[in-house]
């Protein structure tokens, strides 16, 4: 298991360095060893680009035109997934402090199991009270500050149109101006938006997010021709954009929220095939298919542990919540007051390229080849690229 390096080598530490470079107060994580704040704060345009799903291992194998800019390797957070990592990029906090722990989360504040990024209820999941509309949920669920609110320079969040003004994004971009883009190229594309911001007067911090590699890798596999073509398109557009920035006093950092593995059908465990295990659960599986949070019925811990050990030991490790918290897997404190309630009683940490899933009544099954959220090096390691045009 490849654990996050919150002591100076993770994306959380990168955000501490960037925040301090822009005048934000120090957090509980130290700055990134590879990027001290003093080396970042002098530039006019400080740009962070997050390429969703771009693992270090994959980029090291297929560097292409990005090779000259690759400076090293960082770790993601735990779990290694967009739902936990993107809040770290937008708040500067590790998951221990922002409290967002995976795609599906049981949120006792509203008595519902939600997909946290769209803030929608999981179809077929039990609900203990009526769910407020998505626009009303951030005020109920989130209490963490954003990174941008503490910066001493203008801030911009550049996101695809389909998420730019979502309730989740609006909350997490507070203190920054939001820009929506469509595609990579042209005046309405990602790099068109970034070029316009670089031309503005004054010091600024710009966060940009590009999702296409991730969505393609989920559907076709992380090393598929389709996924590599998406990466190649980004790389070419990035190089062309850099060429336009000469003389603009711009420093560009590129990293990712997580990496990827492929999990073929023969490595997928359906909970429906293990009724004794399912009978131990008080709620559907939460979290991720590679790190699943399990909420147990009273008195079922011994049965649950024994079943996993005897029948799924080749594919999964059952780890109690108390150990995850004591060993600091989610980062240093002070811990979010709901952290313990959001990770179940046990985690099923999947070995190799195994996954586990359940499908609820009325829920459309997802056939995903590319996966993340686990603790393999391919999922946990992300690149750090640095470009100074």
Number of domains in the chain: 2
DSSP state of 342: G
**Nearest CA among 7, 1, 14 for reference residue 382:** 14
The model's pTM: 0.96
**Nearest CA among 268, 227, 257, 228 for reference residue 352:** 268
**Nearest CA among 288, 223, 251, 366 for reference residue 76:** 288
Same-domain pairing of 313 and 208: no
Same-domain pairing of 182 and 314: no
Averaged over successive runs of 10 residues, the pLDDT of the chain (389 residues) comes to 95 96 89 80 94 97 94 97 98 98 97 97 94 95 94 97 97 98 94 94 96 98 98 97 92 98 97 98 98 98 98 98 98 97 98 97 90 98 95
Q: What is the pLDDT of residue 163?
A: 97
Range of the structural domain that residue 37 is part of: 11-261+375-387
Q: CA 137 → CA 106, 122, 177, 219, distances in Å? A: 14, 15, 21, 30
- Joined together, the tokens standing for residue 9 give 């080598």
Q: Angle of helix 82-91 relative to helix 11-21, nearest 10 degrees?
A: 20
Please give the Cα distance from 208 to 368 (Å, whole number).
26
- Joined together, the tokens standing for residue 329 give 């897997």
Same-domain pairing of 171 and 255: yes
Please provide residue 85's backbone torsions phi and psi, each rounded to the nearest 5 degrees.
-80, -40
In whole angstroms, what separates CA 18 from the centre of its chain?
18
Same-domain pairing of 380 and 363: no
Q: Which residues contact 73 (CB under 8 A, 6 or more apart)?
A: 56, 381, 382, 383, 384
Does residue 1 belong to any structural domain of this protein?
Answer: no
Does residue 4 belong to any structural domain of this protein?
Answer: no
**Number of Cβ atoms within 10 Å of the Cβ of 282:** 14
Same-domain pairing of 136 and 94: yes
Same-domain pairing of 310 and 183: no
Q: What is the pLDDT of residue 25?
A: 85
SS3 326: helix
Q: What is the pLDDT of residue 1?
A: 85
Does residue 2 belong to any structural domain of this protein?
Answer: no
Same-domain pairing of 157 and 298: no
CATH code assigned at 26: 3.40.720.10
Does residue 32 belong to any structural domain of this protein?
Answer: yes
Please give the Cα distance from 112 to 34 (Å, whole number).
41
Note whether 156 and 176 are within 8 A (CB): yes
Does residue 90 belong to any structural domain of this protein?
Answer: yes
Q: What is the pLDDT of residue 41?
A: 86
Buried residues in 335-355 as b, exposed as e (16+ CB within 10 A): bbebbebbbbbbbbbbbebbb
For 388, counting Cβ atoms within 10 Å of its Cβ (0-12 exposed, 13-18 middle, 19+ buried), the class is exposed
Does residue 332 belong to any structural domain of this protein?
Answer: yes
Does residue 212 belong to any structural domain of this protein?
Answer: yes
Q: What is the pLDDT of residue 366?
A: 85
Q: What is the pLDDT of residue 323?
A: 97
CATH code assigned at 355: 3.30.1360.180
Same-domain pairing of 235 and 298: no
Please provide residue 218's backbone torsions phi and psi, each rounded to the nearest 5 degrees.
-60, -45
**Nearest CA among 343, 346, 349, 358 for reference residue 379:** 349
């Amino acid at each position: 298991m490849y654990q996050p390096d919150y002591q100076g080598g993770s994306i959380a530490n990168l955000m501490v360095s960037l925040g301090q470079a822009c005048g934000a107060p120090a957090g509980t994580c130290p700055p990134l060893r590879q990027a001290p704040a003093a080396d970042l704060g002098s530039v006019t345009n400080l740009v962070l680009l997050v390429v969703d799903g771009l693992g270090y291992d994959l980029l090291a194998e297929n560097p292409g035109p990005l090779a000259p800019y690759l400076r090293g390797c960082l770790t993601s957070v735990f779990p290694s997934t967009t739902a936990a990592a993107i809040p770290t990029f937008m708040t500067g906090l590790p998951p221990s402090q922002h409290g967002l722990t995976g795609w599906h989360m049981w949120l006792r504040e509203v008595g519902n199991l939600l997909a946290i990024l769209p803030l929608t209820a999981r179809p077929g999941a039990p609900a203990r009270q009526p769910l407020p509309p998505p626009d009303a949920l951030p005020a109920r669920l989130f209490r963490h500050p954003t990174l941008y609110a503490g910066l001493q320079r203008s801030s911009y969040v550049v996101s695809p149109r389909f998420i730019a003004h979502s309730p989740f994004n609006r909350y997490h971009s507070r203190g920054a101006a939001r820009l929506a883009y469509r595609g990579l190229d042209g005046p309405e594309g990602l790099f068109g938006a970034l070029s316009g911001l670089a031309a503005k007067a004054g010091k600024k911090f710009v966060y940009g997010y590009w999702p296409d590699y991730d969505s393609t890798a989920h559907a076709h596999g992380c090393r598929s021709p389709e996924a590599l073509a998406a990466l190649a398109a980004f790389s070419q557009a990035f190089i062309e954009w850099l060429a336009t920035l000469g003389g603009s006093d711009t420093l560009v950092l590129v990293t990712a929220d997580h990496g990827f593995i492929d999990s073929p059908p023969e490595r997928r465990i359906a909970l429906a095939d293990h009724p004794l295990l399912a009978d131990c659960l008080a709620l559907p599986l939460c979290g991720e298919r590679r790190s699943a949070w399990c909420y147990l019925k009273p008195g079922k811990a011994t049965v649950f542990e024994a079943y996993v050990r005897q029948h799924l030991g080749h594919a999964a490790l059952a780890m109690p919540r108390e150990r995850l918290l004591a060993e600091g897997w989610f980062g240093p404190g002070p811990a979010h007051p709901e952290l313990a309630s959001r990770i179940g009683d046990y985690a099923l940490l999947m070995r190799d390229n195994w996954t586990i899933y359940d499908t609820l009544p009325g829920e459309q099954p997802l056939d995903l080849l590319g996966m993340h959220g686990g603790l393999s090096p391919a999922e946990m390691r992300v690149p750090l690229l640095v470009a100074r045009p």
